Structure 1
Amino acid sequence: MDIPVRAHIERLLDAHASDGLSEAVEQAFRAVPRHLFIPPVALACRDDGPQIIDRDADPDAWWDAVYSRASIVTQLDDGATDIRAGSGDYTCSSSAPSTVADLLQRLELAPGHRVLEIGTGTGWTAALLSHLVGAANVTSVEVDPVLGAQAASNLAASGHAPYLVVGDGALGCPERAPYDRVHVTCGIRRVPYAWIEQSRPGAVIVLPYCPGFGTDHALRLVVTPDGMAYGRFPGFASYMTMRAQRPQRDQPARTDADKHHLTTRVDPRTIGHAPAGADLAIAALTGLDSLGQADQDEDGPRYRLWVSDPAVPRSWAVAVWRPGQDEYQIYQVGDRPVWEEVVAAYFRWVGWGEPGRDRFGMTVHADGQEVWLDTPDQVIGSEARSAC
């Protein structure tokens, strides 16, 4: 490895010195240079907004971005939009190094562990896993054949040869089971039971749990001999949603009967800026999604919070905050009182003593999944597994 590359890697590790990286993960970052998995043109997600990086046009900016804390988007709109456009839905990225390191450390990997990775993406984490446990022990599944081919090329160039599969990650890879670890690099709303079935008792599954309301969460599950998995939410993790679990986008035409104009004394920011524990509770109690946005229009500053039913796009509401108001406008569509449900769920969380994220957990079994508070017998929300 030449001196400039080594210097970039050490600078990246220095930037994460306070994150408590394990020695094994540090050595993996040194052994598997990130730049080998970043295309010449990509989109760096910095604190001040996304920025196109072009290795040929501005090599210094490209190298600086690649070896920064930023996530690097490598695909827009499932490949339908040229990355140079700079706008569109992000559908593949090299995740922020801090998030990559955090999930790897939560797996508690050891040489020889058999690992199933869901979402090959650029191939960087597959290469890191290969360094940590041996390439022969890594199986990585990617749904997008174009991404899969590029990842295979990246991995070959980096000198790593894990077992690669193009297919639906929700199905796992039964022919390579059983697994000691499952590493998931896409946002999950419903944990596929196939991952538990294909894991040995005592196996660890680490994934980004992205229920759709507020912030997202890291989830660490341990598989038990009775074919179930239990775990808690030890921190933050946010990834692009698994393609098979993306919410519906088509919205049916609305009629006047669908529309309701309401008011509330609950500041929308109370809900939109609630702690992670509240987000988990509201998601479990209601199954609703949310999206908050602060901006400014001709009437001045405002904050809008959208709440929606992912299963029924017609059911949604938006609450609007403006400074100096005691009551806030609600525009609600559909028969389901989504705003009222969210407010009721928030105050149930308050009534529980405002528990933090670390007090919640999840159980996954053949029939579905349950979110609980403190112990698995205190279920606050459940979701049955689809028959299909």
Structure 2
Amino acid sequence: MSTRPDLLSVVAAPPEWADAIRAAPRKHFIPATALATPVNGDPGHWIDRAAGPDAWQRAVDSDTTILTQVDDGDTDLTPESAPTGMPTSSSTAPSVVVDFLRLLDARPGHRVLEVGTGTGWTAALLSARLGASHVTSVEVDERVAAQAAANLRHAGFAPGLVVGDGAHGLPEGPLFDRVHVTCGIREIPYAWVCQTRPGGVIVLPWAPVRVGGFMVRLDVGDGCAQGRLLGDTAFMMLREQRFPYPPPRGERRFSTARVSPCEVRDAGRGVEVALAALVPGVLLNEFDATTGGLRDAEGNYAAVAEDGDGEYAVTQIGVRDLWTELENAFDTWVGWGRPEARRFGVAVDEQGQHVWLDTPDNRVTGGFGG
């Protein structure tokens, strides 16, 4: 007799979402072969339902993100490709799914737009809770959308499914009570605000400077939405907001850093929010005790590394002095009293996206560079 735990024994869910998980078992949305990555930090491992059905089911019923696509489907997902291909679709770890559904606070009678259908599991959970006629899900990838539609049919759910760019929402659709976003966002589209009724809610993973971002719940008013950063998260990026890696443009310039990589690394995530506001359009590389760097979409780069004499050598390429901009933003953040990420929030209106500190009327969006 199997002693395998079910999903609800390992993931805490409020009663209404526990009922939805029972009504829409995750197993209907997981492919026969995939790469499973537990959230507890255990190594990722390949699962194969035919070769190891018990191990496959254990992964499905655990708090595990399961990779279902690499390279937008242009590379077959195999044990050889998974470590090297760019992850482009997955079934998110159930604890993260439940966290976002809690924030969404969707209730019977609400109409929900989901941006990013993926495997279809979250659309099924929403359908189980609200009724499929109240759920519309948009997916940009035709192959992912087709598989999600098949998964949903097999599981007995029929929400509205649209193949299209979720960055634009559903322009011809109704006003929604809730917008549920399942991909990382650098710049929150105003279209989502326009398509949400005043008093509605948008939840999303906001990732302005790297893939690891923040959980955000935006409360929608008349022409504006705003909300505080609520915790860490990481999702694959919205396709049109993936950060490019253009070739460097311009001559190299050399200098010595005032702020070391370890200072940036150890400052906490509040400095990342300050950088998103004050050094717009940049992506941070990994920072450790001796090295770090950042780039933008126009071929501007900056890298810093310890030179062996206790100094940190800076190399900058392009028309922007990105490391200088980072140092200025760091100084500004220090002058604010080194606020943690939880003191920041984000607002979206017809002028675009704005970062605020402590209160929505204290906007800090600006820039030190071009």
Query: Do both share a fold (TM > 0.5)?
Result: yes
Within the candidate set 337, 350, 361, 2:345 is matched to: 361
Q: Secondary structure at the match of 1:78?
A: helix
**Residues 66 and 290 of structure 1: CA distance in aligned 2, closer, same or farther (over 3 Å):** same
Within the candidate set 206, 210, 217, 1:209 is matched to: 206
User: Offset of 1:264 from its aligned partner?
Assistant: 2.3
Q: Secondary structure at the match of 2:88?
A: strand
Task: Give yes or no for the alignment of 1:52 onto 2:46.
Answer: yes
Within the candidate set 129, 148, 152, 1:151 is matched to: 148
Q: Which residue of 1 aligns with 2:70?
A: 76
Q: Contact 2:344 / 2:355 at 8 angstroms: preserved in 1? A: yes
Q: Contact 1:70 / 1:97 at 8 angstroms: preserved in 2? A: yes
Q: Secondary structure at the match of 1:375?
A: coil
User: Offset of 1:36 from its aligned partner?
Assistant: 1.1
Q: Which residue of 2 aligns with 1:272?
A: 265
**Residues 32 and 213 of structure 1: CA distance in aligned 2, closer, same or farther (over 3 Å):** same
Q: Which residue of 2 aligns with 1:123?
A: 120
**Residues 60 and 318 of structure 1: CA distance in aligned 2, closer, same or farther (over 3 Å):** farther
Q: Secondary structure at the match of 2:331?
A: helix
Equivalent residue letter for 2:276: A
**Residues 49 and 7 of structure 1: CA distance in aligned 2, closer, same or farther (over 3 Å):** closer
Say what the alpha-carbon RMSD is for the aligned residues: 2.2
**Residues 325 and 74 of structure 1: CA distance in aligned 2, closer, same or farther (over 3 Å):** farther
Task: Give yes or no for the alignment of 1:309 onto 2:296.
Answer: yes
Q: Distance in 2 between matches of 1:325 and 1:32?
A: 60
Which stretches in structure 1 are left out of the alignment for 5+ residues?
295-301, 384-388
User: Offset of 1:8 from its aligned partner?
Assistant: 3.7
Q: Contact 2:262 / 2:290 at 8 angstroms: preserved in 1? A: yes
**Residues 360 and 341 of structure 1: CA distance in aligned 2, closer, same or farther (over 3 Å):** same
Q: Secondary structure at the match of 2:234?
A: coil
Q: Which residue of 1 aligns with 2:32?
A: 40
Q: Distance in 1 between matches of 2:137 and 2:306?
A: 45
Q: Secondary structure at the match of 1:43?
A: strand
Q: Secondary structure at the match of 1:13?
A: helix
* Bigger proportion of residues as helix: 1
Within the candidate set 244, 250, 270, 1:248 is matched to: 244
Q: Secondary structure at the match of 1:381?
A: coil
Q: Secondary structure at the match of 2:270?
A: helix
Q: Distance in 1 between matches of 2:74 and 2:116?
A: 19
Q: Which residue of 1 aligns with 2:322?
A: 338
Q: Distance in 1 between matches of 2:254 and 2:33?
A: 46
User: Offset of 1:250 from its aligned partner?
Assistant: 3.0
**Residues 156 and 49 of structure 1: CA distance in aligned 2, closer, same or farther (over 3 Å):** same
Q: Contact 1:213 / 1:283 at 8 angstroms: preserved in 2? A: no
Q: Contact 1:284 / 1:380 at 8 angstroms: preserved in 2? A: yes
User: Offset of 1:317 from its aligned partner?
Assistant: 1.3
Q: Distance in 2 between matches of 1:150 and 1:350?
A: 49
Equivalent residue letter for 1:45: T
User: Offset of 1:114 from its aligned partner?
Assistant: 0.2
Q: Which residue of 1 aligns with 2:279?
A: 286
**Residues 273 and 44 of structure 1: CA distance in aligned 2, closer, same or farther (over 3 Å):** farther
Q: Percent identity?
A: 47
Task: Give yes or no for the alignment of 1:14 onto 2:9.
Answer: yes
Q: Distance in 2 between matches of 1:382 and 1:130?
A: 41
Within the candidate set 137, 140, 157, 2:137 is matched to: 140
**Residues 261 and 142 of structure 1: CA distance in aligned 2, closer, same or farther (over 3 Å):** same
Q: Give the ranges of 4+ consecutive aligned residues of structure 1 lying more than 4 Å apart after TM superposition.
A: none
**What do residues 16-59 of structure 1 show as CA deviations (whole Å, max 9, x unaligned)?**
34xxx322222222222112111111111242443222222222
Q: Distance in 2 between matches of 1:373 and 1:293?
A: 25
Q: Distance in 1 between matches of 2:20 and 2:358?
A: 35
Q: Which residue of 2 aligns with 1:297?
A: none
User: If the length of structure 1 is used for normalisation, what is the TM-score?
Assistant: 0.87
User: Offset of 1:132 from its aligned partner?
Assistant: 1.5
Q: Secondary structure at the match of 1:195?
A: helix
**Residues 215 and 240 of structure 1: CA distance in aligned 2, closer, same or farther (over 3 Å):** closer
Q: Secondary structure at the match of 1:25?
A: helix
Q: Which residue of 1 aligns with 2:92?
A: 95
Q: Which residue of 1 aligns with 2:61?
A: 67
Equivalent residue letter for 1:327: E
Q: Distance in 2 between matches of 1:192 and 1:88?
A: 28
Report the more deviating stretch, 156-165 or 58-67.
58-67
**Residues 382 and 240 of structure 1: CA distance in aligned 2, closer, same or farther (over 3 Å):** farther
Q: Distance in 2 between matches of 1:63 and 1:273?
A: 39
Which stretches in structure 2 are left out of the alignment for 5+ residues?
none
User: If the length of structure 2 is used for normalisation, what is the TM-score?
Assistant: 0.91
Q: Distance in 1 between matches of 2:193 and 2:285?
A: 31
Within the candidate set 254, 260, 266, 1:261 is matched to: 254
**Residues 65 and 269 of structure 1: CA distance in aligned 2, closer, same or farther (over 3 Å):** farther
Q: Secondary structure at the match of 1:363?
A: strand
Q: Secondary structure at the match of 2:286?
A: strand
User: Offset of 1:303 from its aligned partner?
Assistant: 4.9
Equivalent residue letter for 1:30: R
Q: Contact 1:208 / 1:218 at 8 angstroms: preserved in 2? A: yes
**Residues 321 and 145 of structure 1: CA distance in aligned 2, closer, same or farther (over 3 Å):** same
